[in-house]
């Protein structure tokens, strides 16, 4: 069998998953298809659509779909025209007995994913909103189109409910056109040019398909051996095996069907390698002597009794004697159902993952993406709309007109009755009664811009130790900040004061020039450096940004806040400034640049509430990697 890294096998697996999904969309949950937009994905989707029986819905859903379109809700135009609540059908109800295609599923909001998962579990939609109440059937499957980069993926709760995980990134368009052909029916089990008819017949046969307990136990054992500990993995593999049998026109699941289910469902879920089989024992050494009598207490080493009949026995009869043992040996050497299922699933695991699992390789430090976006925050005037809330459109808040009318529509009958009882003139009565409680304003969300403030100790002790390394680390980080569209600032303290070498900017050239001209020498006004960084961070926060402070120092101050000398007073001022930074709750990181980790640096980090990172022996690149990891962790704490 071709390995899963082979584009041919990947494409065949994808086509087989499409056929099984067409047979049982809701039972199998769906498929997560990792593939960029292009001919390969379009060919697979068109193949899946051609396999669906006529009239089966296959609806495309945008990633930012509103709840009223997903679940259903009030049809505002029809409600205002009829004067009573009129419901509209949601997309999940429209996809009943069909498929729902999620575009850009790696960006699917968690709330939307939770609603889809609830519908997959319950097979119905419970509608209780906008004055409407009821239940609607929603048995559908999901095709999650994943265009993520690196470790981006659809929500885990959704992936757990989808039977198949197909990766077609290594399949090129010419592989589909030249090697496999555009017609995908040849790769499907028991498929002819009229594939949709086979799928319809398989759907009718599916409820009558049965599976033996031995195969069920084998699938469950295979799932446990591969580390797919969730019960859903075994259930989905069982459903896939039944769908494969129905597609082949059989009412009983065979080991071949179980192998296919293990390869398509369990293999991509593997988190560890199955235990290696024990070496075969020497059958000749363990097999009993056919000529010996188990009840005979005599020593097996005794010479056999010479019998004339046995001496004259024909060779044919002699050869026929051990035949039962030979059959037992052959039966014991044949693979069991458990072994076949594990081998089928093992063949699906990519070669790289196989080597990683075998070597128990740990993921790299900071395994997340190298870049990081600014923190999400609520906004009123700009950003991406994330819904509405009750409120008056004042202080810059935007009125959500449609949602306001939607909130008012269910109450029109009661309000008109109240107006009639009061006795107002019907000719002056408004067509829509809108009250203060109906007003809805838009909720907005934008990303806070991150500014990394590098506070560099340029005193004599730092210059003696590793000022050059600190400069190199900051210069490397500037390029990373430029890629992430972060702003950077550089503050240096030496002599008797601190100086802002570079105000917040995205200019990489200016930052490099500021670092190149940074001299070293003089005293260590540590308190002045922290105060300057705190003032800049407060200004950034007032403008709506997210400051992250990175302090590079050995933690030993000898110049106090007023510029006078004295180590004890300077250390007290430094810790007082650090406590003020801690109260402000800005994310911060202290890198101890002394030759060996010492108590002053650790104590200062505790006073700041900062992440402490000692680097006794590190080059500029090592420091850069450490700052990236620790800064990302500090940013998530805000």
Where do the structural domains in the chain lie, given as residue ranges? 7-75+88-190, 209-273+334-360, 380-446, 450-636
The owner of tokens 């959704």 is: 158
Q: 225-229, 301-305, 522-526, 632-636 — which is least confidently predicted?
A: 301-305
Q: Is the predicted pLDDT of residue 4 greater than 70, yes or no?
A: no
pLDDT in tens, 577-611: 999 989 988 888 888 877 777 788 888 989 988 88
The larger pLDDT score, comparing residue 452 to residue 250, is at 250
Q: 229-243, 276-290, 422-436 — which is least confidently predicted?
A: 276-290
Helix (H) or strand (E) holding 621: helix 620-636
Q: 159-168, 223-232, 281-290, 462-471 — which is least confidently predicted?
A: 281-290
DSSP SS3 for 390: strand
- Taking residue 482's Cβ as centre, other Cβ atoms within 10 Å add up to 15
- Taking residue 252's Cβ as centre, other Cβ atoms within 10 Å add up to 13
pLDDT in tens, 320-378: 444 444 444 444 445 666 666 666 666 655 554 444 443 333 333 333 333 344 455 55
Is the domain covering 450-636 a CATH 3.40.50.410 domain?
Answer: yes
- Could you tell me which residues come within 8 angstroms of residue 391 by beta carbon, excluding any fewer than 6 positions away? 397, 439, 440, 441
Q: Structure tokens of 299?
A: 């020593």
**621 φ, ψ (degrees, to nearest 5):** -70, -40
pLDDT band at 25 (very low <50, low <70, confident <90, very high): very high
pLDDT band at 226 (very low <50, low <70, confident <90, very high): confident
pLDDT band at 117 (very low <50, low <70, confident <90, very high): very high
Q: Give the whole-angstrom CA distance, residue 341 versus residue 328.
A: 23
> Identical fold at 7-75+88-190 and 209-273+334-360?
no
CATH number at 7-75+88-190: 3.40.50.300
Cα 334 to chain centroid, rounded: 40
Dihedral sign computed on CA atoms, order 23, 24, 30, 31 = negative
Is the domain covering 209-273+334-360 a CATH 1.10.8.80 domain?
Answer: yes
Q: What percent of the chain has pLDDT over 90?
A: 23
> What radius of gyration, in Å, describes the C-alpha atoms of the chain?
35
**68 φ, ψ (degrees, to nearest 5):** -70, -25
Contact 446, 480 (CB under 8 A): no
Dihedral sign computed on CA atoms, order 397, 399, 403, 407 = positive
Q: Give the whole-angstrom CA distance, residue 260 versus residue 233.
A: 14
Can you tell me the mean pLDDT for 242-259?
92
Cα-Cα-Cα-Cα torsion 538, 525, 522, 605, nearest 10 degrees, comes to -80
Most confident option among 98-107, 441-450, 503-512, 556-565: 98-107
Q: What percent of the chain has pLDDT over 70?
A: 66
Threshold 0.75, pTM exceeds: no
Q: Return the pLDDT at 161.
A: 94
Q: Structure tokens of 102?
A: 């999620």
């Amino acid at each position: 069998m071709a390995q899963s890294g082979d584009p041919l096998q990947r494409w065949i697996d994808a086509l087989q998953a499409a056929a099984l999904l067409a047979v049982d969309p809701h039972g199998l949950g769906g498929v997560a298809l990792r593939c960029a937009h292009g001919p390969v994905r379009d060919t697979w989707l068109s193949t899946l659509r051609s396999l669906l029986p006529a009239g089966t819905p296959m609806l495309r859903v945008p990633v930012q779909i509103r709840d009223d379109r997903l679940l259903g809700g009030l049809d505002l135009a029809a409600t205002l025209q009829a004067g009573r609540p009129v419901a509209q059908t949601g997309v999940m109800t429209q996809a009943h007995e069909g498929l729902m295609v999620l575009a850009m599923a790696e960006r699917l909001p968690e709330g939307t994913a939770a609603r889809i998962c609830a519908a997959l579990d319950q097979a119905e939609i419970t509608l209780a909103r906008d004055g409407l109440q009821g239940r609607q059937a929603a048995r559908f499957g999901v095709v999650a189109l994943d265009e993520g980069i690196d470790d981006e993926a659809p929500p885990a709760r959704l992936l757990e409910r989808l039977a198949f995980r197909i990766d077609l990134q290594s399949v090129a368009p010419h592989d589909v056109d030249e090697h496999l052909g555009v017609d995908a029916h040849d790769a499907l089990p028991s498929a002819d040019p009229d594939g949709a008819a086979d799928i319809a017949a398989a759907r009718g046969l599916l409820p009558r398909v049965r599976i033996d307990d031995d195969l069920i136990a084998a699938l469950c054992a295979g799932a446990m051996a591969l580390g797919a500990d969730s019960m859903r993995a075994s259930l989905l593999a069982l459903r896939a095996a039944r769908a494969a049998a129905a597609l082949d026109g059989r009412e009983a699941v065979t080991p071949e069907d179980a192998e296919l289910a293990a390869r398509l469902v369990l293999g991509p879920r593997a988190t560890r390698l199955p235990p290696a089989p024990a070496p075969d024992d020497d059958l000749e050494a363990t097999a009993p002597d056919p000529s010996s009598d188990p009840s005979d207490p005599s020593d097996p080493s005794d010479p056999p009794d010479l019998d004339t009949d046995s001496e004259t026995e024909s060779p044919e009869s002699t050869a026929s004697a051990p035949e039962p043992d030979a059959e037992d040996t052959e039966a014991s050497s044949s693979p069991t159902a458990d072994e076949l299922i594990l081998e089928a699933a093992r063949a699906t695991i990519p070669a790289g993952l196989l080597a990683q699992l075998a070597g128990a390789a740990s993921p790299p430090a900071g395994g997340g993406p190298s870049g990081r976006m600014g923190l999400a925050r609520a906004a009123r005037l700009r950003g991406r709309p994330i819904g509405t809330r009750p409120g008056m459109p004042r202080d810059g808040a935007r009125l959500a007109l449609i949602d306001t009318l939607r909130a008012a529509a269910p109450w029109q009958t009661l309000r008109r009755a109240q107006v009639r009882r009061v006795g107002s003139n019907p000719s002056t009565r408004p067509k829509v009664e809108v009250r203060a409680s109906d007003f809805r304003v838009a909720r907005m969300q934008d990303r806070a811009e991150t500014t990394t403030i590098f506070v560099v100790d340029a005193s004599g002790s730092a210059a003696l130790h590793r000022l050059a390394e600190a400069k190199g680390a900051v210069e490397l980080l500037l390029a990373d900040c430029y890629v992430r569209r972060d702003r950077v600032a550089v503050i240096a303290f030496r002599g008797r004061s601190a100086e802002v070498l570079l105000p917040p900017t995205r200019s990489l050239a200016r930052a490099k020039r500021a670092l190149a001209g940074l001299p070293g020498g003089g005293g260590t006004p540590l308190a002045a450096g922290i105060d300057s960084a705190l003032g800049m961070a407060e200004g950034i926060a007032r403008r709506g940004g997210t400051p992250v402070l990175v302090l590079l120092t050995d933690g030993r101050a000898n110049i106090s806040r007023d510029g006078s000398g004295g180590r004890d007073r300077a250390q007290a001022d430094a810790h007082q400034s650090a406590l003020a930074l801690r109260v402000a709750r800005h994310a911060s990181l202290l890198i101890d640049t002394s030759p060996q980790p010492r108590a002053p640096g650790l104590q200062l980090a505790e006073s700041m509430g900062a992440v402490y990172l000692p680097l006794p022996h590190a080059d500029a690149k090592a420091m850069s990697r450490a700052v990236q990891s620790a800064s990302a962790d500090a940013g998530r704490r805000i």
